[in-house]
């Protein structure tokens, strides 16, 4: 509630039902699962064919460009879309969502134009940052245009997630993935097999998804009620700006945390630009499948945050903490199981699917899988901090992890090469999210020993299949039949969730019949 809110606005917040028809949490998770299966299958096929059809150097350049886009996207808009998961429902309940959309939209548009223009003007400096060598002007212009499309796509996805419109998000994500695959593979096959073809196809996919998202937004915007009371710009930004600023810092640090190892390889690995791009390509090949876990985790976080925030606003803080514990445990068992499956399939994946082009990627795969699984699970620990509006602590957390990662890279990269960079990232992930749990506990979240084990479990993947698989099997057995992983209350909660979901869809089926 802003400082200048009137008693009338307080009454609206408590008595007026939401004006947005939100997708329920259980249904959101089902839609998310369906989306993930189809979209990630398309993404996997696309990633495999990129690895097969691009040279290692061009694949490495695309990986560096993609990392730059993921870093620059939230950076240029100063974290404004990052507030949607927390504040869309806040302004919706106060019947001020029209104002929220207008003000955040205008600010994001202006900032995007300025950011893309800066990239074009200082193209040489940007090329040195990304590649450690000069790149063609056309490549940087294509990157700037793609950046604008990426920002628009991210804005709309964050907005619809905040509205809990997972049907719309599902369609947008699927369309984006499908167009990216079709256009990208087509350009590589029939134009030029370079990173330029991939960056153009990604921009086209994001732009097409923006058009689709704008259509959905327009239809929903018309249904919003007229606003009887509008907060002043000062009240509005006094509420939004601090959280946006910390989200901006958190996004900057978290994205740096995700890509710093590759840029350390480029700038401090002692390689020529061509050799560095090849090493990045080896790293990319080892992440094609494991990174699916991290992307799934990001989608889950986006879906869960608005629902947990609603519980937090209703005063059910203990319930938010309990749910976060359960989410971390289930996420750990799921993602580590996925990691075990990846290690089992590794010889076939690199020998047959990747056509034996990336032996360096196969060598570092165990620690890459451990790193991706740890990042996936660790991200779930941040839900409690976001609900508590402690984005500044998330920023501090990533600052610690980023510093730790850079120091380890300086120590291990010259001695172990690519393996040192991957190991540094895996260890940094584990340390970072253990610190995250400590911060959650200091804010009142009760954490049991099983949650600590869940956060540390991914590190077993780094030691290979023969060690990780037995440990995971024991953890699954304990979760099903014992009490050391899941409590009886958590089992009842899982059963109740499945029961509600089954009854809901059974009711729909009967109504249709």
Q: With cut-offs at 50, 70 and 90, classify the pLDDT of residue 454.
A: confident
How buried is 60 (Cβ within 10 angstroms: 0-12 exposed, 13-18 middle, 19+ buried)?
Answer: buried
Count CB-CB contacts under 10 A for residue 228.
10
Determine the 3-state secondary structure of 269 from DSSP: coil
Calpha distance 362→283 (Å, rounded):
9
Tell whether the model's pLDDT for residue 15 goes beyond 50.
no
Calpha distance 292→38 (Å, rounded):
12
Q: With cut-offs at 50, 70 and 90, classify the pLDDT of residue 13.
A: very low
CB-based contacts of 377: which residues, under 8 Å, 6+ apart?
A: 297, 328, 331, 332, 335, 433, 454, 455, 457, 458
Calpha distance 238→234 (Å, rounded):
6
pLDDT of residue 8: 36
Q: With cut-offs at 50, 70 and 90, classify the pLDDT of residue 500.
A: low
Give mean pLDDT, residues 328-352.
92
What is the DSSP secondary-structure string of 32-54? HHHHHHHHHHHHHHHHHHHHHHS
pLDDT of residue 311: 82
Calpha distance 475→491 (Å, rounded):
15
pLDDT of residue 204: 96
Q: With cut-offs at 50, 70 and 90, classify the pLDDT of residue 14.
A: very low
Cα→Cα distances 482→322, 414, 455, Å: 19, 45, 19
Report the percentage of the chain scoring pLDDT > 90: 30
Structure tokens at 257: 């945390």
Which residue is associated with the tokens 């460009």? 65
Closest by CA to 92, choosing from 101, 80, 83, is: 101
Q: List pLDDT tens digits, range 154-192.
A: 999 988 888 877 778 888 888 999 999 999 999 999 998
Structure tokens at 354: 């990747």
pLDDT of residue 84: 84
Q: With cut-offs at 50, 70 and 90, classify the pLDDT of residue 407.
A: very high
Q: With the C-alpha atoms ordered 407, 413, 419, 422, is the resulting torsion angle positive or negative? A: positive
Q: List pLDDT tens digits, range 64-122.
A: 999 899 889 888 998 888 888 778 877 777 777 788 888 898 999 999 999 999 998 98
Q: With cut-offs at 50, 70 and 90, classify the pLDDT of residue 17.
A: very low
Q: List pLDDT tens digits, range 118-132.
A: 998 988 888 888 877
CB-based contacts of 209: which residues, under 8 Å, 6+ apart?
A: 153, 156, 172, 173, 175, 176, 179
Closest by CA to 410, choosing from 227, 267, 231, is: 267
Q: With cut-offs at 50, 70 and 90, classify the pLDDT of residue 28.
A: low
Give mean pLDDT, residues 20-32.
54
**DSSP state letter for 352:** I
Q: With cut-offs at 50, 70 and 90, classify the pLDDT of residue 509.
A: low
Q: List pLDDT tens digits, range 232-262.
A: 777 788 888 888 887 788 788 878 888 888 9
What is the DSSP secondary-structure string of 143-204? HHHHHHHHHHHHHHHHHHHHTT-HHHHHHHHHHHHHHHHHHHHHHHHHT--SHHHHHHHHHH
Mean pLDDT of the chain: 83
Tell whether the model's pLDDT for residue 318 goes beyond 90.
no
The Cβ-side half-sphere exposure at 205, using a 13 Å CA radius, reads: 25
The Cβ-side half-sphere exposure at 15, using a 13 Å CA radius, reads: 6
Q: List pLDDT tens digits, range 472-496.
A: 999 998 888 877 788 777 777 777 7
Structure tokens at 436: 């995250």
Report the percentage of the chain scoring pLDDT > 70: 88
- Helices and strands: H and E segment counts in the chain: 21, 0
Tell whether the model's pLDDT for residue 411 goes beyond 50.
yes
pLDDT of residue 217: 87
The predicted model scores a pTM of 0.75
Range of lowest pLDDT (19-28, 142-151, 307-316): 19-28
């Amino acid at each position: 509630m802003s400082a200048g809110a009137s008693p009338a606005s307080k009454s609206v917040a408590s008595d007026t039902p939401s004006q947005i028809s939100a997708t329920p949490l259980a249904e959101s998770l089902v839609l998310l699962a369906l989306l993930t299966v189809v979209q990630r299958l398309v993404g996997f096929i696309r990633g495999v064919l990129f690895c097969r059809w691009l040279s290692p150097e061009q694949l490495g350049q695309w990986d560096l460009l993609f990392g730059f886009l993921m870093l620059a996207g939230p950076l240029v808009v100063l974290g404004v879309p990052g507030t949607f998961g927390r504040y869309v429902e806040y302004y919706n309940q106060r019947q001020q969502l029209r104002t929220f959309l207008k003000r955040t939209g205008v600010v994001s548009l202006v900032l995007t134009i300025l950011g893309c223009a800066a990239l074009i003007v200082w193209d040489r400096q940007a090329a040195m940052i990304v590649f450690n060598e000069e790149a063609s002007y056309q490549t940087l212009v294509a990157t700037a245009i793609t950046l604008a499309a990426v920002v628009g796509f991210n804005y709309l996805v964050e907005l619809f997630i905040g509205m809990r419109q997972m049907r719309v998000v599902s369609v947008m994500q699927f369309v984006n993935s499908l167009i990216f695959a079709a256009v990208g593979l087509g350009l590589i096959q029939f134009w030029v097999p370079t990173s330029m073809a991939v960056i153009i196809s990604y921009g086209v996919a994001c732009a097409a998804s923006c058009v689709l998202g704008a259509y959905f937004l327009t239809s929903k915007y018309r249904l919003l009620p007229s606003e009887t009371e509008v907060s002043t710009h000062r009240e509005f930004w006094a509420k939004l700006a601090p959280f946006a600023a910390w989200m901006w810092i958190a996004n900057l640090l978290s994205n740096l945390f995700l890509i710093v190892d590759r840029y350390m390889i480029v700038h401090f690995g002692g390689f020529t630009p061509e050799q560095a791009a090849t090493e990045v390509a080896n790293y990319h090949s080892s992440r094609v499948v494991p990174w699916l876990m991290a992307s799934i985790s990001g989608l889950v976080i986006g879906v869960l945050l608005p629902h947990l925030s609603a519980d937090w606003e209703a005063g059910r803080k203990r319930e938010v903490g309990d749910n976060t514990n359960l989410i971390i445990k289930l996420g750990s068992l799921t993602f580590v199981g996925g990691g075990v499956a990846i290690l089992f399939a590794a010889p076939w994946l690199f020998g047959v699917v990747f056509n034996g082009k990336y032996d360096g990627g196969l060598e570092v795969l165990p620690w890459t899988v451990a790193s991706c699984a740890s990042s996936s699970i660790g991200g779930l620990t941040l839900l409690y901090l976001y609900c508590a509006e402690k984005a500044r602590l998330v920023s501090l957390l990533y600052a610690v992890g980023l510093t730790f990662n850079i120091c380890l890279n300086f120590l291990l990269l010259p001695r172990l090469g690519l393996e040192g960079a991957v190991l540094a990232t895996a260890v940094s992930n584990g340390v970072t999210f253990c610190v995250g749990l400590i911060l959650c506990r200091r804010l009142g979240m009760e954490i049991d020993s099983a949650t600590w084990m869940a956060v540390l479990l991914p590190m077993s993947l780094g030691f290979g299949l023969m060690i990780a698989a037995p440990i995971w099997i024991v953890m699954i057995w304990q979760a099903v039949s014992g009490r050391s992983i899941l409590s009886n209350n958590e089992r009842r909660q899982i059963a109740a969730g499945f029961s509600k979901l089954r009854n809901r869809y059974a009711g729909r089926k009967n109504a249709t019949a």
